Amino acid sequence: MITKEEIKKMSTIARISITDKESEKFADDLNDMFAFINMINEKNFDGAEFTGFCGSESFFRQDKVIEPLRDSSFNGTKSIDISLL
Amino acid sequence: MSENISKIKQIHKLLKTKQISCKELTSKYLDAIDKYNNTLGAYIKVTDELALNAAEKVDEKVKKGSELLPLEGIPVTLKDNISTNGIETTCCSKMLENYIPPFDATCWDIIKSQNGILLGKANMDEFAMGCSCETSRFCKTSNPHDLSRVPGGSSGGCSCAVSANLAAYALGSDTGGSIRQPASFCGIVGFKPTYGSISRYGLLALASSLDQIGPMATSVEDASIIYDALSIKDEKDSTCFGNVNGPTQIHLNKDINGMKIGLPKQYLEGINKDVSDSIFKAIKVYESLGAKIVPLDMPDIKYSLPIYYILVCSEAFSNFARLDGIRYGHRTNSYTNLEEFFSNSREEALGEDVKRRILLGTYVLSGKNYEHYYKKALKIRETIFETFEKAFKECDIILSSTVPQTAFLHNFKPEDQMEAYMTDICTVPANIAGIPAISIPCGTDSNNLPIGMQLIGNSFCESKILNAAYKFEQATFAKNHKSINMGVNL
């Protein structure tokens, strides 16, 4: 059972100001939703591990070292003496 | 019925044979929007100058006798969560009311490079959270088939515009059914491709692991043409594969004799009688075309909707953290310190459903709830993916209704919050598994409202479901297509 105090705490974490009346309404709504969501506890899914989408081995770009942008962005610029006065 | 029902092909034929110039065609659409948009609320922004400029370029090409590109000269609308350089992209929220992106989403970039005609931005539920297109900051959208009813959501402006002939096609986004559900309610085709086949770059994210851009059109062939044009690998989206199995159009008219169509009993539970009657009539059509129906039992599918809300809300909690008034979005004038600034900015600019989902996301990610809800949801997600993998060893595609009911009335008040979310029950599993699914019209209910049928395929098997959808459409178009006496009828 989610209380309106918990909703207040969540709203602080989520950075959303809410009134007492709103926290009561959201507590009711979330309790309705969790009454449904808690059906996931009917069954044990411990054997499964989420591995990604669509059976793909990797979605990501190849992890290779490239020239840092910082160095290349100074190409062609003049060297300026910025020694302290 | 083998009449050419592709609107894109019809428009190209009219342009090439010079029966109409692209500028005249665009003006017709703009006039129609001007006439009907106050009643329908499909568009929240009309980009007439941009559209007419693009139309001029198309006319020059036609004059020179150059070949037209697949989407060239075709009037389109984009859901308002797809970034358009220099044009407001608001997600229909007060939070981003004045946000003008400095870049284009890849899908719009492709259309623009083909001289596509952007008529404007379409209304949607705030931040794509909703199923009725009533939570938009700007206006409510109505269903062209019955103005007292909703067009569905969240891509309701898109489905309304296409159905009412105020655009030849639209691009929507689908996180749990937001393309297919409104397509079903408005009697058009809505296609959610495999996760990662069309670039999400420039789509304002709701839940990054579920969001997918896809076409909404008046025919399966148009959906296929649009999909083929947009499914290109994109370096800007690390999750984008493009179209790994080649063009789908060449497969549309293949014989489906012997195709195995799975019918999971779980998808038939609790659906409206008119809807189930139409689905069983559709099954008869497939049998008459030589397809074999395979009964399936997929018990774990029932966990799709609860884990969907855990995952969507968790990802939204993270994605929406940037909407704080500093990095993006509305800034409050009422604050005494920085924390108050953030909290009040978000409080003033976010709608009720957005707040509710962010709070749910905060709750399931906090403390022990992370293990109990979020990690468990990921495990169940894998199980559902495996359930589909197993099912596709027994059949080629899966058939179900798109939504358990037809379009509901405006201001419908559900008994509790979950009742409102239940319209997604048939569409959500495809997002959870990242697999492609299409909604096509398959009949009408006793109120003459459109009913949608959903075909689901295995990852990157877009060709199979488009083939099956096309054959069904060809066999039943005259019976199932309800033309609307609005907008531009070619």
- Which of B154, B163, B231, B463 is the catalytic position? B154
* Among candidates A38, A39, A59 on the partner chain, residue whose Cβ is nearest the Cβ of B196: A59
In the sheet with B292-296, reading across from the earlier edge strand, the strands are: B43-46, B117-122, B75-79, B169-173, B213-217, B189-192, B437-444, B450-457, B397-401, B260-264, B292-296
Is residue A62 within 8 angstroms of chain B, CB to CB? no
Over the stretch B322-363, which tens digit does the pLDDT of each residue have? 999 999 999 999 999 999 999 999 999 999 999 999 999 999
Structure confidence at residue A55 as a pLDDT band (50, 70, 90): very low
Determine contact: A31 vs chain B, CB below 8 A: no
- Cβ-defined contact of A40 to B347 (cutoff 8 Å): no
Mutate to test the interface with A, among B315, B360, B372 (most CBs of A within 10 A): B360
CA distances from B208 to A11, B63, B168, B213, B425 (A): 23, 44, 28, 11, 20
Residue A58 forms contact with B (CB below 8 Å): no
Which range marks the domain in which residue B22 is found?
A: 7-300+381-480
List the 389-418 stretch of B: residues with Cβ below 8 A of A.
389, 416-418
* CA distance, residue A17 to nearest chain B CA (Å): 5
Res A57 pLDDT > 60: no
| DSSP secondary structure letters along chain A | ---HHHHHHHHHHTT----HHHHHHHHHHHHHHHHHHGGGGGS--TT-----STT-S--SPP------HHHHTTTTPPP------
Residue A53 contacts B where some CB pair is shorter than 8 Å: yes
In this prediction, residue A82 carries a pLDDT of 64
| Residue of B175, B159, B155, B228 whose CA lies nearest to B197 | B228
Q: How many CB pairs under 8 A join A and B?
A: 121
Interface test with B, best of A50, A60, A62, A63 (most B CBs within 10 A): A50
Q: What is the mean pLDDT of residues B52-66?
A: 97
User: A46: which chain B residues are within 8 Å (Cβ-Cβ)?
Assistant: 379
Q: B18-48 pLDDT, tens per residue?
A: 999 999 999 999 999 999 999 999 999 999 9
Please tell me which residue in B178, B184, B314, B459 is annotated as part of the active site. B178
ipTM score of the complex?
0.88
Cβ atoms of A38 and B422 closer than 8 Å: no
Find the closest chain B residue to A26 by CA distance. B356
**Mean of all residue pLDDT scores within chain B:** 95
Domain count, chain B: 1
CATH number of the domain where residue B411 is located? 3.90.1300.10
Chain B residues in contact with A37 (beta carbon < 8 A): 306, 309-310, 373
Residues 175-194 of B with CB under 8 A from A: 194
Q: Do B306 and A39 touch (CB under 8 A)?
A: yes
Task: Give per-residue pLDDT as tens, B155-194.
Answer: 999 999 999 999 999 999 999 999 999 999 999 999 999 9
Residues of chain B contacting A43 with CB distance shorter than 8 Å: 300, 303
Please tell me the distance in Å from B468's CA to the nearest CA on chain A.
21
> What is the Cα–Cα distance from B128 to B136, expressed in whole angstroms?
9
- pLDDT, tens only, B398-413: 999 999 999 999 998 8
Distance from C-alpha of B48 to C-alpha of B55, rounded to nearest angstrom: 10
Q: What is the CATH number of domain A1-43?
A: 1.10.20
Model pLDDT, residue B284: 97
B383/A45 Cβ within 8 A? yes
Instruction: For B226-283, write each residue's pLDDT tens digit.
Output: 999 999 999 999 899 999 999 999 999 999 999 999 999 999 888 999 999 999 999 9
